[in-house]
Structure 1
Amino acid sequence: MAYEGLVISRVAFVVALLMLGFGLEGSDANFNKDFDITWGDGRAKILNNGQLLTLSLDKTSGSGFRSQNRYMYGKIDMQIKLVPGNSAGTVTTYYLSSLGANHDEIDFEFLGNLSGDPYILHTNVFAQGKGNREQQFYLWFDPTKDYHTYSILWNPLNIIFYVDGTPIREFKNLESKGMSYPKSQPMWVYSSLWDAEDWATRGGLVKTDWTQAPFIASYRNYNAQACTWSPSSSSSSCSSSSWLNQALDTSEQRRIEWVQKNYMIYNYCSDSKRFPQGFPPECSLN
């Protein structure tokens, strides 16, 4: 397709720019050296010599962490086991973000629910401070019973959300059509566990049951194949990274269609009540 061919042809140019300030990070990950606990007053813990991280939420506070590095494009994987049991009112987040009013952001948010009801996986993309691009899904497994891998692929072509290697959402670079796209702001990896009982579960109808606290989410096997931002760096090996021009192949296109047909429960591009004057322009293009 003309658009895809144009963007692919620009990848080499983008990579050349990256060489001025980025280095490639590999998969030898350890929570002690890769992340900083940013809040929670001891509720976040790094265990097992850096191989496990847990976040905890009680009535006083939640907790969170942030990567020590910022990244400019990459394939980021994290294995997460979500809060079990009655998790109504809680939100576990895992996302990439820059700072400021015009920030870029790529979101996974897991909205808790009553025991036996499914979690809702909420996704969103912000570019230059503009978000409101939500899609929500049920999962085809219980995310509290074991660890599952949640991945964000972000490159000059597209953003793809994966669950256990299955793509669930693609957000294309449509700058050639006048749409904004995250491309110029390095982003940290963040995660947090916090109370959002005023909106998270059934629009706030189901409140947090604090007798179930502390609520705990667990993390392991972080992997960043990414370009690490470094103002003082003068070289980069990003040009050898296959993910820089990775897009959905035919098999993945079929998988994403299967997920969206069977498990998508909200798509902003189908919400006519929210957009009575017409859907955002990318809805007819993305």
Structure 2
Amino acid sequence: MESLLVPLLMLSLVWATSAGSFYENFDEAWGGDLAKILNNGQVLSLSLNRASGSGVKSKSQYLYGKFDIQMKLVPGNSAGTVTTFYLSSLGSTHDEIDIEFLGNLSGQPYILHTNVYTQGKGNREQQFYLWFDPTKDFHTYSILWNPLTIIFSVDGIAVRQFKNLESRGIPFPRSQAMWLFGSLWDAEDWATRGGLVKTDWSNAPFTATYRHFAAQACVRKQPSQTCSSSSWLNQDLDISGQKQIRWAQKHYMVYNYCTDTKRFPQGLPPECSFN
């Protein structure tokens, strides 16, 4: 464990807990007035029209953290749209941890799309249907990222884990601090049924709503300070969490890259033997 925590000291990180205000935690990244912070900073509204989507970027960079957000997704015919909550560094060798929601035709289920990039390499998608309508009410979506693991959760139920298997030569995102993003954008070339269903712009503007942002995280900042230890920093899945993942994969998984032999004809990625 000590070797895994070295980057915390090298990057001069400080422990921080953030909650509530989008004014305090995010800046508008693109889309101008299509990204709106409302209710004294407690609500974020992102919209998409034919001219542009919209997005926000965290004011801070993080190296490890537990990030929670409540979201209500685009209702009705949202085909071609993608609503996101994700972590990413920058550059060709960036790291990234993705939660994305792929839009649908009215009456069809949304797809929760997850991915993990390390050193610019992704192709680690797992996709799930949700067991509720994410357009009717707010639900909580979470990313736990620590030196041991990455865990994706929905309403406190773990649906996916990506373990740190560096000891077996498999890269893990632990050396690059990342920003947190939220966005709504048009991806009609792939988002719905592989791009077969296009965006119906007569339904624009499309709008998704975010609230109750919370982060327990290590924040990169100056002057030099170290990141305090906390329970989430060493958290892994317990027996209950492992059962949750098996339940989600059995009943709601749509796609798992670790079973896609057509995509990887030379052999599945090495982590598939362990995750």
| 8 Å CA contact 1:149, 1:164 repeated in 2 | yes
Aligned to 1:250: 239
* Residues 75-90 of structure 1 aligned to structure 2 (within 5 Å): 75-90=66-81
Residue of structure 2 equivalent to 1:5 = none
State the distance in 1 between where 2:195 and 2:146 align: 35
State the partner residue of 2:213. Answer: 222
Q: 1:166, 1:238 → 2: CA distance?
A: 26
Q: Secondary structure at the match of 1:28?
A: strand
2:233 partner amino acid:
L
Residue in structure 1 matched with residue 121 of structure 2 by the alignment: 130
Question: How much does 1:235 deviate?
Answer: 2.3
Q: What TM-score do you get using the length of structure 2 for normalisation?
A: 0.97
Q: Which residue identity lines up with residue 259 of structure 2 in the other structure?
A: S
* Contact persistence 1:15–1:238 (CA under 8 A): no
Question: What is the deviation of 1:19?
Answer: 4.2
The match for 1:159 among 150, 154, 167 is 150
Name 2:37's counterpart in structure 1.
46
Shift of residue 282 of structure 1? 0.8
Partner of 1:182, secondary structure, is coil
Deviation at 1:16, TM superposition (A): 5.9
Task: Give the deviation of 1:277 after TM superposition.
Answer: 1.5
Q: Matches of 2:77 and 2:181 in 1, distance apart?
A: 24
- Aligned pairs for 1:48-197 within 5 A: 48-197=39-188
Cα distance in 2 for residues equivalent to 1:16 and 1:205: 47
- Partner deviation per Cα, 1:85-140 (whole Å, 9 max, x = no partner): 11011011110000000000000110000111000111000001111000000000
Secondary structure (helix, strand or coil) at the match of 2:90 reads coil
Check 1:141–1:27 CA distance in 2 against 1; reply closer, same or farther (3 A cut).
Answer: same
Q: Hey, what's the Cα distance between the residues in 2 that align with 1:40 and 1:184? A: 30
Q: Mean alpha-carbon deviation: is it higher for 19-28 or for 106-115?
A: 19-28
Contact 2:78 2:206 in 1 (8 A): yes
- Identical residues among aligned pairs (%): 66
Letter in 1 for 2:72: K
Residue identity in the other structure for 1:18: L
1:274 aligns to what? Answer: 263
The answer to whether the Cα contact below 8 Å between 1:22 and 1:233 also exists between their aligned partners in 2 is: no
TM-score (norm. length: structure 1): 0.93
What is residue 3 of structure 1 aligned with on the other side?
none
Contact 1:23 1:233 (8 Å CA) reproduced: no
**1:197-229 Cα distance to aligned partner (Å, 9 max, x none):** 111111111111111111000000100100001
1:10-25 alignment, distance < 5 Å: 10=1, 12-15=2-5, 17-19=7-9, 21-25=12-16
- The whole-number CA distance in structure 1 between the counterparts of 2:117 and 2:4 is 20
Question: Is the 2:140–2:156 Cα contact (8 Å) retained in structure 1?
Answer: yes
Paired residues of 2:53 and 2:183 also in contact (CA < 8 A) = yes
**Mapped pair 1:262 → 2:251:** yes
Q: Distance in 2 between matches of 1:161 and 1:28?
A: 19
Provide the rounded CA distance (Å) in 1 between the counterparts of 2:9 and 2:196: 50
Count of residues paired in the alignment: 274
Matched, 1:211 2:210: no
Structure 2: give runs of 5+ residues left out of the alignment: none
Quick one: distance in 2 between partners of 1:223 and 1:204?
Answer: 34
Cα deviation code 1:115-170 (max 9, x no counterpart): 11000111000001111000000000000001111100000000000101000000
